[in-house]
Amino acid sequence: MDPRTLRSAFGRFATGVTVITCRTQDGRYHGATVTAFTPISLDPPLVQVALTRKAKATGHLEGAAFAVNVLAADQVDVAMHFAGRPGTDPLPWIDSGGVPALSGTAATVVCDPWRADDGGDHVLFLGECVEVRTSERTPLLFHDSAFHHLGLRTSDTVWLGCQDDPHAGWFDETARFEPAPSR
């Protein structure tokens, strides 16, 4: 598998932009810009963050509480700072119950460590959500190696979940199917 082709294919999937923040072993605040964030479960409330093994944050996150800061559309400078291109503006740090977080975000999810797993050239960190804050701010998006803003809504239809769920879907356990008669 050609890594450049695979990376290009992965880049076709638009994601939100997050900054994962935590404390270092000596108590300093640390953050890393991450697009590999996934909500996992509502019960228990879990999220997943994938960090490359080479990232400094990978060493700080092992067994540590962390915050997933979903950046707002006007926080490109914050994303770039934590991606390795620091700016001159002060960072919008806040303390969230002992876990460093960022203000001005679209959402922030504070997590206790749940577990870490092998993810090839990444480490997959699962966190249990212990605090959640949301705002009305529009999130920042990442697609094809560039930042983007959310466009206009294409529908007012609200999606309430997977239609394959036997408790709420189109078909439940009582549904029976018969082959169509052949002609």
The more confidently predicted of residues 77 and 147 is: 77
Give the span between the Cα atoms of 95 and 108, in whole angstroms.
12
Give the span between the Cα atoms of 108 and 131, in whole angstroms.
8
- Residue-wise pLDDT tens digits, 23-39: 999 999 999 999 899 99
Alpha-carbon dihedral 64, 69, 75, 78, rounded to 10 degrees: 0
Give the CATH number for residue 99: 2.30.110.10
Q: Which of 30, 154, 127 is nearest to 81 (CA)?
A: 30
Q: Does residue 183 belong to any structural domain of this protein?
A: no
pLDDT confidence bin for 5, thresholds 50/70/90: confident
Q: Is the pLDDT of residue 145 over 90?
A: no
Specify the pLDDT at position 106: 97
């270092």: which residue's tokens?
Answer: 24
Q: Does residue 157 belong to any structural domain of this protein?
A: no
Q: Does residue 71 belong to any structural domain of this protein?
A: yes
Specify the pLDDT at position 171: 58
Q: Which of 105, 10, 95 is nearest to 50 (CA)?
A: 10
DSSP 102-167: ESS-SEEEEEEEEEEEEETTEEEEEEEEEEEEE-SPPBEEEETTEEEE----S--PPP-S-TT-TT
pLDDT confidence bin for 111, thresholds 50/70/90: very high
Q: Does residue 131 belong to any structural domain of this protein?
A: yes
Helix (H, G, I), strand (E, B) or coil at 100: strand
Q: Is the pLDDT of residue 153 over 80?
A: no
The total number of structural domains in the chain stands at: 1
Residue 17: domain span: 3-149
Residue 66 structure tokens: 């962390």
Q: Which of these ranges, 87-91, 110-114, 139-143, 168-172, has the smallest mean pLDDT? A: 168-172
- Residue-wise pLDDT tens digits, 48-85: 999 989 888 888 989 999 999 999 999 999 999 999 99
Percent of the chain with pLDDT over 70: 86
- Claim: this prediction has a pTM higher than 0.95: no
Q: Does residue 162 belong to any structural domain of this protein?
A: no
Q: Does residue 165 belong to any structural domain of this protein?
A: no
Q: Does residue 17 belong to any structural domain of this protein?
A: yes
Specify the pLDDT at position 45: 96
Q: Does residue 55 belong to any structural domain of this protein?
A: yes
